[in-house]
A and B are shown apart, each in its own frame.
Chain A
Amino acid sequence: DTAVSQTPKYLVTQMGNDKSIKCEQNLGHDTMYWYKQDSKKFLKIMFSYNNKELIINETVPNRFSPKSPDKAHLNLHINSLELGDSAVYFCASSQYTPGEAFFGQGTRLTVV
């Protein structure tokens, strides 16, 4: 069983579109995260949720909106996609914030 799974693995879309990335963890963790890894491999946190509540909201455009329907899921919706949004997006979870985090395999988003 995959601990942290995200879908889709690859996403190619046109500028201006709206897309969502889904994340689910079956570890029973209370905290989930979204990270963005750019083409130079820099890794930066975007959002963090603890038990469905937003606790970290980095300076990201408000086109990015996370949604946590329950503590096992943290989805990322992106409106009006731009070329600069192309990156790999990682979902992660941990029991204690931040503690040892478990990462998903990543979603490679390409905006054309």
Chain B
Amino acid sequence: AQSVAQPEDQVNVAEGNPLTVKCTYSVSGNPYLFWYVQYPNRGLQFLLKYITGDNLVKGSYGFEAEFNKSQTSFHLKKPSALVSDSALYFCAVRDIRTDKLIFGTGTRLQVFP
């Protein structure tokens, strides 16, 4: 079965520092991977996706993610965190067999001024 794991419930980072939110995946075949962000009391917003091509994917709000096949990871990164980046981040994978998006458990990012 396809799945993603987000090993950290919370990530704390100081404003201006680089941030990484981790995601590992388990799929059969080629993975279709996504990152979404959820701000308080809001729905999820799409950030970026990896289907094929370059391992470094650039997305909204200055975020990027690196697809690493050997480590089965798709970590979300940003060179310089903003306080406004504080939110809940979800990694997701497309289940090819059922065509569903399967979400990770979410990582809460807290950026301190």
Of the residues A41, A42, A100, A105, contact of B46 by C-beta under 8 Å: A100
Please tell me if the beta carbons of B43 and A45 are within 8 angstroms of each other in the complex: no
Instruction: Mark A74-104 against chain B: 1 for CB-CB distance below 8 A, else 0.
Output: 0000000000000000101000011011111
Chain A minimum-CB-distance residue to B106: A41
Chain A minimum-CB-distance residue to B94: A98
Within 8 A of B (CB), among A27-86: 40-45, 48, 55-56
Please tell me if the beta carbons of B43 and A4 are within 8 angstroms of each other in the complex: yes
Chain A minimum-CB-distance residue to B102: A45
* B43: A residues at CB distance < 8 A: 4, 90, 92, 103-106
* B34: A residues at CB distance < 8 A: 100
Q: A56-B99, A103-B44, A105-B43 are in contact. Are A43 and B90 (CB under 8 A)?
A: yes
Interface size on A, residues (CB 8 A): 21
Please tell me if the beta carbons of A43 and B106 are within 8 angstroms of each other in the complex: yes
* B42: A residues at CB distance < 8 A: 105-106
Please tell me if the beta carbons of A90 and B44 are within 8 angstroms of each other in the complex: yes
Q: Counting CB contacts under 8 A, is B103 at the interface?
A: yes
CA distance A92 to B46 in the complex (A): 11
Q: A97-B99, A98-B94, A98-B100 are in contact. Are A41 and B45 (CB under 8 A)?
A: no
Q: A48-B100, A56-B100, A97-B99 are in contact. Are A102 and B46 (CB under 8 A)?
A: yes
* B103: A residues at CB distance < 8 A: 42-44
Known: A42-B103, A43-B44, A48-B99. 9 other contacts (CB 8 A): A43-B90, A44-B103, A56-B98, A97-B99, A101-B101, A102-B46, A103-B36, A104-B43, A105-B41
16 A–B contacts, CB within 8 A, in A order: A4-B43, A41-B105, A41-B106, A43-B90, A43-B103, A43-B106, A45-B101, A48-B100, A55-B99, A92-B44, A97-B99, A98-B99, A101-B36, A101-B101, A105-B42, A105-B43
